[in-house]
Structure 1
Amino acid sequence: MVTNVVIKQNSFERILVIKLRHFGDVLLITPLLTTLQQHAPNAKIDVLLYSGTEKILSKDKTIHHFWTIDRQLKRAGIKAQILGEWALFQSLKKQNYSLLLNLSDQWRSAFYARFLKPKFSIGFHYAKRDNALWFSCYDHLVPVSNHVKQHTVINNLSILDPLKLSKISTQVSMSYGSDDIFYVEKILHEKLLSDYIVIHPFARWHFKTWSAAYFSQLINYLTAQREKIVITGGPEKTERDYVLNVIEYCNQKDEIVNLVGLVSFSQLAVLIDRAQVFIGVDSVAMHMAAALKTPSVVLFGPSNIKQWHPWNAPYTLLWAGDHRELPSPEEVDTSTSDRYLDAIPLEKVIDAVDFWRAQHKVK
């Protein structure tokens, strides 16, 4: 492994950034992309992601091309999987990347770093990949010993350390376009909404989600204060059913606009950007609100707060660990049905929301 090599900016002709994770993880690579563009404005920056997650960056103008890995190929049989992987590899090989940055720990991403033969490649030195094969895939490996103590934005940016760049951007960006603005303004006009609160209540895992009954009570309090509520979420049936359960026990249903499954990420960004307050849990929508600087009230369970709290934004974070014992982030059973967030008292959430409502009214 080559060490202590300063990579010159004029070698940044084609760049590939690999991030094989979920939506929120992908959004948090935008400071890295911005930094690369600032130092190499003429470079073409591609990203390799899991299929579907590119939607969160669909309006990001720093990205030249999205390459995606279809995880569903596994279900199509070994032949289809091999053919799909080979086709993707051949397409990537033709790009002749001068710089490859792998932010992921999968062997698949390491093999791309090795066999695409970029001019320079950088990865992370994960403890579980402390072996000669992982080392052989890169020119540089960056230590991750501080990652559990730092925000994910900083962790992502640390992969640039070998480049010795003079200026680093730490701002997460959530982009949207004029078509998104038009679509959202049409909804706001139809629903007679000018001032509203966005609630994005769902997360894919129970351990990250407050029970529906608590959100119903919170909404009842807010609608009694004459607030308009917009509820957002993804199109999956479990998410739709959860939100319908929330709405079922709300007293003033006419004050609630249910947009679950009806807006794209970039359209959701417009909604959040124009909201007076965002309320949610540890999810991609929370990171979007932070990127857009919308004041937020977020509920956290046993996630690593240092790594995943709203980044560089106005927010109040309510942690279930202040009210009950929680497992450490490394020991969480993601299949558990335990809703750790239920330990957070409704009154605490109301107080936090009222604080930001008051700040909004002052403006």
Structure 2
Amino acid sequence: MGLLKKINVFRRSLMRNLTKNIGKASSQEDIILVDKNDIKRILICRPNGRLGNLLLITPLVQEVTEIFPNCKVDLFVKGTLAPIIFENYDNIDKIIDLPKKPFKSLLKYLNVWISIKRQKYDVAINVDQNSSSGRLAVQFSNAKYKFFGDSSEESQHVKNDYDHIAKYPVYNFRYYLTKLRFPKSNKIIAPLNLKLSSSEIADGKKILNDLIHNDKKTICIFTYATGEKCLSEDWWESFYTQLKREYSNYNIIEILPVENVSQIAFKAPTFYSKDIREIGAVIANTDLFIGADSGIMHLASAVQTPTIGLFSVSNIKKYEPYDNCSIGVDVNLYTRKDYVKTINSILNNGKLSIYSDAI
């Protein structure tokens, strides 16, 4: 581990220790939310700029806007991806983004915190209880109702999917609402959702048709991932050979990462783009996505394409794709027969998608 990385790890650890008790001393049990229509503006805090982490808060955003349909939501994030991801979310009003390198953009960094303090919010929500910036933002806000993201022990013991990073923020927020005298909710948590438009889906279909020139169904692979999550070229070469042999009646295309690299040496037809919504639209027109734990894996899940997430080091229960026959698999335990069985099961069940009418 390099010196800068060690410093960053130490900084994060220090900030978490300093902020972990923020909000725990204050009790809001005596506050009752009489009328949910009184909630007009909500702040949701997830100061992270990664594609996957931003897509993973879409279930919470859907939950919040369903409970409070008349509200406007401001997102406190990092980087520039959030406006793209939440482009078609009608309730999203402002995107408040921290600069990726605060010490190089100190004035903007300070203005972000000032804007949070100046705006009057009815509810402020921290998504991840371990986020020091998220906890600070909620504490710093003028919101009447402040949820710091703390876990619900009740949900941890009852919900078998509580560990999932897209789901436990929803369970925790639901529990917080019961403290405000809201009725307990047992609704199924919404899937990740990029909310592609019908025109975007149509454009994705045209791109795919121009790439494959036939009417066969399509399997989409993504062979890249960061760090240890990236499977070796040998692994992918073997897997791709197996895919071609077992699914010769399917097209197999590869989505390329922004780095424009391929673990199978570009042997499959490839699609490259830096436009997240365009990539999502192409994947939405395919029948199965296979790729390692990455932002693009979560993107595939967010366009409701059945997804097989390949996990070698990451926590499957925390990050696996869900809904629409999606699954996370441990590549250290799976055999070739296991892959075929899983893929056949998904393909035979067919694709159930909110975009199916447009495809």
Aligned pairs for 1:30-69 (under 5 A) are: 30-54=58-82, 55-69=84-98
For 2:200 and 2:93, the matched residues in 1 are separated by 21
Q: Can you list the C-alpha shifts for 1:113-148, whole angstroms capped at 9, x where unaligned?
A: 22222122110348xxxxxxxxxxxxxxx6699399
For 1:285 and 1:189, the matched residues in 2 are separated by 21
1:170 aligned residue (178, 182, 189): 189
> Which residue is 2:142 aligned to?
117
Q: Can you list the C-alpha shifts for 1:193-233, whole angstroms capped at 9, x where unaligned?
A: 54211112222122x22212332333334344143222114
> Which residue is 2:252 aligned to?
229
Q: Can you list the C-alpha shifts for 1:291-333, whole angstroms capped at 9, x where unaligned?
A: 44433322112322222222233034321453xxxxxxxxxxx
> Which residue is 2:169 aligned to?
156
Aligned pairs for 1:66-85 (under 5 A) are: 66-74=95-103, 76=104, 80-81=105-106, 83-85=107-109
Amino acid in structure 1 at the alignment position of 2:102: L
SS at match of 1:246: coil
Select the structure that is richer in helix. 1
The 8 Å contact of residues 44 and 74 in structure 2, kept in 1 or not, is answered as yes
Amino acid in structure 1 at the alignment position of 2:342: A
For 1:185 and 1:285, the matched residues in 2 are separated by 18
1:204 aligned residue (214, 226, 231): 226
The 8 Å contact of residues 34 and 169 in structure 1, kept in 2 or not, is answered as no
Aligned pairs for 1:1-363 (under 5 A) are: 1-4=26-29, 5-8=31-34, 9-21=36-48, 22-54=50-82, 55-74=84-103, 76=104, 80-81=105-106, 83-104=107-128, 105-125=130-150, 146=156, 150-157=163-170, 158-164=172-178, 165-166=182-183, 167=185, 168=187, 170-172=189-191, 173-191=193-211, 192-194=213-215, 195-206=217-228, 208-224=229-245, 225-235=248-258, 237=259, 240-241=260-261, 243=262, 245-248=263-266, 250=267, 256-260=268-272, 262=273, 264-322=275-333, 344-360=334-350
CA-CA distance at 1:358 after TM superposition: 4.3
Q: What RMSD over aligned residues (CA atoms) do the two structures have, in Å?
A: 2.9
For 1:159 and 1:218, the matched residues in 2 are separated by 41
For 1:169 and 1:32, the matched residues in 2 are separated by 12
> Which residue is 2:10 aligned to?
none
Note the residue ranges of structure 1 that are not aligned, 5 or more in a row.
127-141, 251-255, 323-343
The 8 Å contact of residues 124 and 144 in structure 1, kept in 2 or not, is answered as no
> Which residue is 1:337 aligned to?
none
CA-CA distance at 1:184 after TM superposition: 1.5
The 8 Å contact of residues 71 and 91 in structure 2, kept in 1 or not, is answered as no
SS at match of 2:52: helix
The 8 Å contact of residues 281 and 303 in structure 2, kept in 1 or not, is answered as no
- TM-score for the superposition, normalised by structure 2: 0.75
SS at match of 2:264: helix
Q: Can you list the C-alpha shifts for 1:83-142, whole angstroms capped at 9, x where unaligned?
A: 12221123333321111001233333333222222122110348xxxxxxxxxxxxxxx6
Change in CA separation of 1:178 and 1:145 when aligned onto 2, cut-off 3 Å: closer
Amino acid in structure 2 at the alignment position of 1:2: S
The 8 Å contact of residues 308 and 321 in structure 2, kept in 1 or not, is answered as no
SS at match of 2:284: helix
> Which residue is 1:335 aligned to?
none
SS at match of 1:198: strand
For 2:150 and 2:349, the matched residues in 1 are separated by 44
Change in CA separation of 1:170 and 1:357 when aligned onto 2, cut-off 3 Å: closer
Change in CA separation of 1:278 and 1:152 when aligned onto 2, cut-off 3 Å: same
The 8 Å contact of residues 305 and 324 in structure 2, kept in 1 or not, is answered as yes
SS at match of 1:64: strand
CA-CA distance at 1:15 after TM superposition: 0.2
